[in-house]
Structure 1
Amino acid sequence: MTTSSRYDHYKSLTLKHHDHGILEVIMGASQSANKKLSTADHNLHRELSTIWTDIDKDPDTRVAIIRGEGKGFSAGGDLSLVEDMANDFNVRTRVWREARDLVYNVINCSKPVVSAMHGPAVGAGLVAGLLADVSIAAKNARIIDGHTRLGVAAGDHAAIVWPLLCGMAKAKYYLLLCEAVSGEEAERIGLVSLAVDEADLVPKAFEVAQRLAQGSQTAIRWTKYALNNWLRLAGPTFDASLALEFMGFSGPDVHEGIASLRDRRTPNFDPSCPL
């Protein structure tokens, strides 16, 4: 089904309206023919930060589903974007604002959000994936917060939601070590709502979305608003983590992190620390 004109300016996200007021938000649809993972370049990062305010104001949308096309849910930040952030103060401040808005806009979107994560789930896409009101992962999905591997603090969504979902001990283990979490393990520790076989992922997401769309909209939206006060209480923690992440983009470790990713090798960070 076609979408309203309010979404015409979106180029990196593919948006499809379905029956019962379900809006499907697809990352990487334009890359799927080449079996590529969706990477958050300058434009996709910006669109992921603004789409939630448009969904919030869209009278035709009751529920949003966010998913990835191709080999995975999301591959994290495009290395060109990361390099620009490390080298350009203006880019860094713009992306910081987008990263802040992405988190708060998902939290404050009045419409419920369902995520369907398969394959690798990293970076800006993972922010929306784990902040979704109902997060569904394929059992073989690989959820990775890649910040410390890059040489910057785990900002984005991590500090605001991981300890609340899976507890501080598990959050520290996975965030400090940059360890991958399978979808099956993510469900076991409470990081996601459900884990299903990959073939059942999108149908399950639509099943959940349809149930939400056919329920009492005031009851569902007000319940979401009340529950998300737990996340709003963690706002100062998130703001600090994001500031520390972006301070890291001005330091030396991120350059080694970028180089190691380009060279497909283990990073060799300087063991000295100014703290």
Structure 2
Amino acid sequence: MQTIEYRLDDGVATITLNRPEHKNAINADMTRELAEVVIQVRDSDEIRALVITGSGGSFCAGGDIKAMLASRDNQPERQARMRFHHRWLEQLIHLDKPVIAAVDGPAFGAGFGLALAADMIIASDNARFCMAFMKIGLVPDFAALYTLPRVVGLQRAKEIMYSARTIEADEAVALGIALEKVAPDALAGRAQAIAGSLAQASPTAFAQTKRALNGSQLNDLKTMLDIELTSQSVAFATREHNDAVDGFLAKQPPAFKWPE
């Protein structure tokens, strides 16, 4: 792969955006490679969790503006490119596996949107987030119109998008954009620890929980209770549940434990 690095360790896949000379700005090659890896992660039983990060002290500076100029006057091409983005982004957001974004440096524009597609964002002290679209006369994309209001609420999402201001790491944690903040040299280890922990959880229980949570703001109480009933029935029948109950009764430590 030319624009990303991929590795798999103990069930945790790691995607590293790797255009450091461009602060990992997204171009056509990167989106194609990301789409391929998302499908690979989705379809592999060996992969239990995913970490997305960036190289060279940046997460992702957004879309590659110079690359965008090539299709500035070609609306059909732009729309086809966005539809392609939408297909793999939807697959990533609804991936039945834990996804952790490890953000160091800028996560601007589409890079911010990519981070928000994860289940959780771990930020370094150097992380900065910006919905920069208003600065160049564009509409927020990379699914941010869906994800950001669900993270920070509608009014705050409007302020973040309208102002196109930069959000530092401490504020990102306070707003719930980032789960926690760590030192830059601890970022990779912390993201891997959380992903590795979730990789030990029941894949069925995790998938059912994530599906329900992703739909929770679109459904009424009755629908969510029906989803709860169906999901719990599926989870009760799994080997992981039976093994966990047997281990609990035998006073054994649980297989799943959140990292301190």
TM-score (norm: length of structure 1):
0.74
Alignment of 1:113-128 (within 5 A): 113-128=99-114
Matched, 1:155 2:155: no
AA aligned to 1:27 is: L
8 Å contact kept, 2:110–2:141: no
CA distance in 1 between counterparts of 2:93 and 2:81 reads 18
- Shift in Å, 1:100: 1.4
Alignment of 1:260-271 (within 5 A): none
- Shift in Å, 1:232: 6.7
Tell me what 1:18 maps to: 9
3-state SS of 1:85 partner: coil
Distance 1:40 1:72, change over 3 A: same
8 Å contact kept, 1:103–1:127: no
8 Å contact kept, 2:113–2:142: yes
Tell me what 2:37 maps to: 51
CA distance in 2 between counterparts of 1:139 and 1:147 reads 24
CA distance in 1 between counterparts of 2:116 and 2:103 reads 9
Identity of aligned residues (%): 27
8 Å contact kept, 1:140–1:184: no
1:219-247 CA distance string (max 9 Å, x none): 112111111114777xxxxxxxxxxxxxx
CA distance in 1 between counterparts of 2:29 and 2:110 reads 12
CA distance in 1 between counterparts of 2:134 and 2:204 reads 40
AA aligned to 1:14 is: E
8 Å contact kept, 1:84–1:92: no
CA distance in 1 between counterparts of 2:135 and 2:39 reads 31
**Aligned counterpart in structure 2 of residue 27 of structure 1, from 17, 27, 30:** 17
3-state SS of 2:92 partner: helix
1:81-112 CA distance string (max 9 Å, x none): 22123222242022111231243111221111
1:55-75 CA distance string (max 9 Å, x none): 100122000100000030011
CA distance in 1 between counterparts of 2:209 and 2:147 reads 18
Tell me what 1:96 maps to: 82
1:43-64 CA distance string (max 9 Å, x none): 1123334432221001220001
AA aligned to 1:46 is: R
Runs of 4 or more above 6 Å deviation:
none
Tell me what 1:85 maps to: 71
**Aligned counterpart in structure 1 of residue 46 of structure 2, from 60, 63, 69:** 60
Tell me what 1:203 maps to: 189
AA aligned to 2:169 is: G
1:234-265 CA distance string (max 9 Å, x none): xxxxxxxxxxxxxxxxxxxxxxxxxxxxxxxx
What is the root-mean-square deviation in Å for CA atoms of aligned residues?
Answer: 1.8
Tell me what 1:111 maps to: 97
AA aligned to 1:94 is: A
Alignment of 1:145-224 (within 5 A): 145-224=131-210
8 Å contact kept, 1:37–1:73: yes
Pick which of 45-54 and 131-140 moved more: 45-54
3-state SS of 1:228 partner: helix
TM-score (norm: length of structure 2):
0.78
Could you tell me which runs of 5 or more consecutive residues in structure 2 were left unpaired when the two chains were aligned.
220-260
Aligned length: 219
CA distance in 1 between counterparts of 2:35 and 2:167 reads 25
CA distance in 2 between counterparts of 1:15 and 1:219 reads 27
CA distance in 1 between counterparts of 2:77 and 2:34 reads 16
